[in-house]
Structure 1
Amino acid sequence: MDNLLFFFSSFLLFSSVYANYDCPLDSICGNNSFDIRFPFGLEGPRNLQHCTYNPGFNLKCNNQGRTILNLPGAGDFYVRDIDYLTQEIQLYDPSNCLPKRLTHFQIPSSSVYKAVSYRNYTFLTCSTDSVTSRFNVIGCMSDSSTSTLATSSISLARDMKSLYNCSINNTLSLPVSWTSEFEAVFSSDLTNDLVLTWDEPNCQDCEAQRDLCGFKNATTGEIQCYDVPGTGSTKGLQIFRIVALALVVPAITGSMLITCYICYEQNRDSRRAAAALQNTTAGGAAVAPQPETNIGLDDSTIESYTKVVVGESRRVPGPNHGTCPICLGEYHAKETVRCIPECEHCFHAECIDEWLKIKGTCPLCRNNPSPVHVNSS
């Protein structure tokens, strides 16, 4: 009882350290791999006004599960990714014709975003028959008779005008992410995503410490870093260690008890088999040797269970948390987890594989799933 009271009081004290960060930590749109958090905010009932830095960071989620950013004067773009450490947002065109959008694209000086870099591109219109395969054609701006090309080389544009009878349309300064050496010499289809960055608010120090960024004072716009459990931040670290110790010691004890129970069950089965054989021999009845009972699962059955590679968001499908219930270790990106059918509980693949070889049930709910049927090719 004393240990329980100690753990409960430590938990309350630990929770109070993080109580003043009340913005959603798990906002996500559809199956996107990135979280939506400060300075961004997802429009909806969960979005609090002080959780979005300003209206320029408002995002929307459509019925297809796509995250949308509206750029004033340029319209809606789909969001492919957000890198909070480098403060970059990666956008693409819903109509899959980004080059056409870029020809009319301008970032106003009042915008919270700016392009990573700019490059001058000359647009040309050529006869489709005269364009060789080494040139990248902008497909969505071409048709069966004419092809549209873009090049950052003014000398190439002049050569194509004289050699291939192409017409030069215009030269524009376009926001670009990167260009290959091939595109610099020949032409570009400008299909790379549009990458924009922002300077304010500057949350890079918070992200580097794996902390959360948020308003300290929403009226003045002042921001600060907020600690979160499990990120190794300095504030509240001592309390976190105490709580972690209170969790780890019972977990180790429980693991030892589980191991002892498994050994006991195996020894009991062996003793029963030996006693049965001895009684049969004493009674004079000849009984053929029985195969050894294996209460675990074979390798092929274990391998048929679903394996998932953890993404950057460190989210695991099904009714699971961020730690493996067997080893109590956190899931990290690119780790492999295996999920039990029917109950959908997931564990580190190396942890659950060893368990299933001994006991064929789920360690959490004792579910004994039916074998997974694999379609024959």
Structure 2
Amino acid sequence: MAPSTLSLLILSLLIFLQKANSNKITCHNPCLRNKLEVRFPFGFDNNRCSYPGFNLSCNDLQNQIILNLPNAGNFTVQNINYRSQTITITDPQNCLPKKFMDSSFDLSGSPFIPGHYNRSFTFLNCSSNSTTTVSGLWRIDCLSNENFTVVAMLTTNYESFLYMPAPSCTELKKRVFVPVLRSRWSDSETKLKWNEPYCRRCEEDGGTCGFKGDTGLTIECKGRRSNGPLPRSAKYGIVLGAGIPGLLCIVGIGSYLFGRLKEYSGGNQPTTEFSTAIAPQPSVVITGLDAPTIESYPKTQLGDSGRLPKPNDNTCPICLSEYQPKDTLRTIPNCSHYFHANCIDEWLKMNATCPLCRNSPDGSSVMTPSTPLSSSSSSLSTPMP
């Protein structure tokens, strides 16, 4: 790559990173000692860090994160569940029922709704001993003392309570709507939820919500792993598609290793039958003749006239040279073929047959067994009588 091209790519990357960093808003968290995870849609500053209505503050003295509800007051944030879009709050003064009774827990003006079903309660101030025999009343410890007891009961049961021969009780407040689970609330905390902005699907996919662009309230999901969970049928298909070939591969490898192990074990313990089968068998070969036998074959010396036993045969079949006067010829019995004595003698030392007709003189051949450890040069020959 040319240096100019490389420099251009580096410059483009730096410009892109600078632009990306310029669009990123750093959100300040003043509650550094509080370990609660605070992120979009919540934030501590009235900027692009938080969605409208989700602004939080920090109580430095008690290290508490505070949520302000316009018509209900301040509450301490205990937990935020971004997947279920719920927030758990409590009263900073540790008397949540007093908050309910003073403000009727009015959530208007905020983006939150009760996390539990709203039930109507009536608050009563009774003597210290008045509630010992009456069922259906729930004592509120943070509003009670040794002289009187503050209790709450479902408003639907209040009319029946008035006609009961009950001890003296004074109505403090009627029809207070409280978000409670089942038939009562927790004195320490309650739960709220929000529907907008909707980020539940994004959170389930492993992403986080944030504003899209520098203006407006449009949000986007960032860092999402996928478009959503796979259908169960697709998961089964993946398992079967990967599992069956894998199982077959394991079976094939196991069979191969077992065969090799069996072959190796069998090779270390040869059987008698196998040894007999591969043992070399003796074979019968025809070797050459010994010197006395060769010398017993008739020899003829040509005279000065060069007259041959057979006038038409004037060439030695072995050396292909013409016979000359004074040459010594040797004749092989039975077939009467003749050759130069020197030529046929060397031939017969290695072969017991006539070079022309391949016939062996009667009684001249010797049959000997041959093994891989023996050679024709060491074979025994039986001389002709």
Rg larger in 1 or in 2? 2
- Normalised by the size of structure 2, how large is the TM-score? 0.47
- Normalised by the size of structure 1, how large is the TM-score? 0.48
